[in-house]
Amino acid sequence: MLTNHAPTAELQAIDAAHHMHPFTAGAELNAKGARVITRANGVYLTDSDGNEILDGMAGLWCVNIGYGREELADVAAQQMRQLPFYNTFFQTTHIPALTLAKRIAELAPGDLNHVFFNGSGSDANDTNLRMVRHFWAAQGKPEKQVVISRWNGYHGSTMGAASLGGMKGMHAQGGLPIPGIAHINQPDWWSEGGDMTPEEFGIARARELEAKIEEIGADKVAAFIAEPVQGAGGVIVPPDSYWPEINRILAKYDILLIADEVICGFGRTGNWFGSQTMGMTPDIMTTAKGLSSGYAPIGASIVSDRVAQVINEAGDFNHGYTYSAHPVAAAVALENLRILDEEGIVERAGKVTAPYLKAKWEGLGDHPMVGDTKIVGLMASLALTPNKDRRANFAADAGTVGLICRERCFANNLVMRHVGDRMIISPPLVISESEIDLLAERAWKAIDETYQAVREQGLWQEA
């Protein structure tokens, strides 16, 4: 194991010299130095200066079970000793792969009974993209290949997944999107709803799907992909009218639904899957993150009987990853699912923790700078705004105020992320009521310090 005996500045210098960070302005970070996280337990991180930080983001939306579960470490060590690796390409399988596939099929709703394993959520969405196109081609419809997705959706960082995603900053680098992907607008009522009621707006945004299908031609559209609740886009919760209307449209045109459950899956929304919470019936679910609570990298495409049957009977599916169903990752995921189930963590998150967090989170809405407190299960967001009645943005560039708030959170030993000027949380599902109290206390303090800073810096201006 790597131990940390060096002073923080020395570790930061090595990091700056050699480590390129994801989604980061490298030079800027290198000049300032990254915070070095050295250990974690429960919902707390410890850094190299000994600070204890409440992790309101469960790592990166993934440590559902909380940090420090010895059982997962033991299972990993045992599996490494017994069978550290074997592939599943050439007519072989292994116990962790088949056991985990069966367990996932039991947990997944409806006829989602088949699992294709991947190394991550991005990999899983690349799998899904190829799978839905192959599904139609195998039935004599090779031109039915466009996948519709949403602006400000997030589906990962590989060429396929980032193309499916609707992050314009990502599309601007590296020649994206790839062909055959079309985007529609997101159901974000607070920012884009204008004078419509949320219900009217939900229907209007869903009907953009219908308009796009008509424009492209239903015989050319393979699938629609969406997160049940957008995560990286800012925890955008669609109006209640949205998903029922989407369901109607998909059924009408015989278009597959891929639910990207990478964040929502495995308890985040208070049920095992976000599709259950939001009333969706997907043909494929993308999962990763919470599947192993982040203790090992693994993703799973969970596939319906209908799709699996066509793919299985169409000869070789020419797709796969060396680490598909990696035995160590699969064993860790299985142990994670056992604990989530047997300790009633998912059930408690939905029935007890979510309502408690909701009351506290909505309480932050009493602050003069906070509007649109939104929460589903244990994922929540709020808008920082200079005028909540008008749902106004700040005049400063989006993210200016959000970044100040994130820094104030960090300074108060709370990890809360910002997306533009929205603040978001997604804490470990095991967070206790007293830890939620502390989270809300620190969040209020950080928001209030941000408010002071915004006033002092002359940023309290409406767009």
Ligand X SMILES: *Cc1c(COP(=O)(O)O)cnc(C)c1O
Residue type, 107: L
Give the shortest CB-121-to-ligand X separation in angstroms. Answer: 2
With beta carbons less than 8 A apart as the criterion, state whether 66 and 426 touch: no
Among 426, 423, 438, residue whose Cα is nearest residue 369: 423
Give the shortest CB-289-to-ligand X separation in angstroms. Answer: 6
Locate 130 and state its tokens. Answer: 């190829």
Print the SS3 string covering 282-314: CCEEEECHHHCCCCCCCEEEEEEHHHHHHHHHC
CA dist 176 → 159, 173, 221 (Å):
7, 7, 19
CA dist 97 → 109, 166, 205, 291, 330 (Å):
20, 32, 40, 13, 6
Give the shortest CB-184-to-ligand X separation in angstroms. Answer: 17
The residues pairing with 52 across neighbouring beta strands, listed in sequence order, are 46
d(CA 61, CA 53): 16
C-beta closer to ligand X: residue 120 or 241: 120
C-beta closer to ligand X: residue 122 or 293: 122
Give the shortest CB-175-to-ligand X separation in angstroms. Answer: 19
C-beta closer to ligand X: residue 162 or 446: 162
Which residues form the interface with ligand X (CB under 6 A)? 61, 120-122, 125, 154-156, 227, 231-232, 260, 262-263, 288
Among 245, 311, 317, residue whose Cα is nearest residue 284: 311
Give the shortest CB-231-to-ligand X separation in angstroms. Answer: 5
C-beta closer to ligand X: residue 101 or 232: 232
Give the shortest CB-351-to-ligand X separation in angstroms. Answer: 25
Give the shortest CB-76-to-ligand X separation in angstroms. Answer: 18
C-beta closer to ligand X: residue 286 or 450: 286
C-beta closer to ligand X: residue 167 or 196: 167
Give the shortest CB-343-to-ligand X separation in angstroms. Answer: 24
C-beta closer to ligand X: residue 232 or 429: 232
C-beta closer to ligand X: residue 426 or 450: 426
C-beta nearest to ligand X: residue? 121
C-beta closer to ligand X: residue 120 or 336: 120
Give the shortest CB-52-to-ligand X separation in angstroms. Answer: 26
C-beta closer to ligand X: residue 23 or 90: 23
C-beta closer to ligand X: residue 61 or 394: 61
Give the shortest CB-230-to-ligand X separation in angstroms. Answer: 8
Give the shortest CB-154-to-ligand X separation in angstroms. Answer: 5
Among 250, 186, 184, 248, residue whose Cα is nearest residue 222: 250
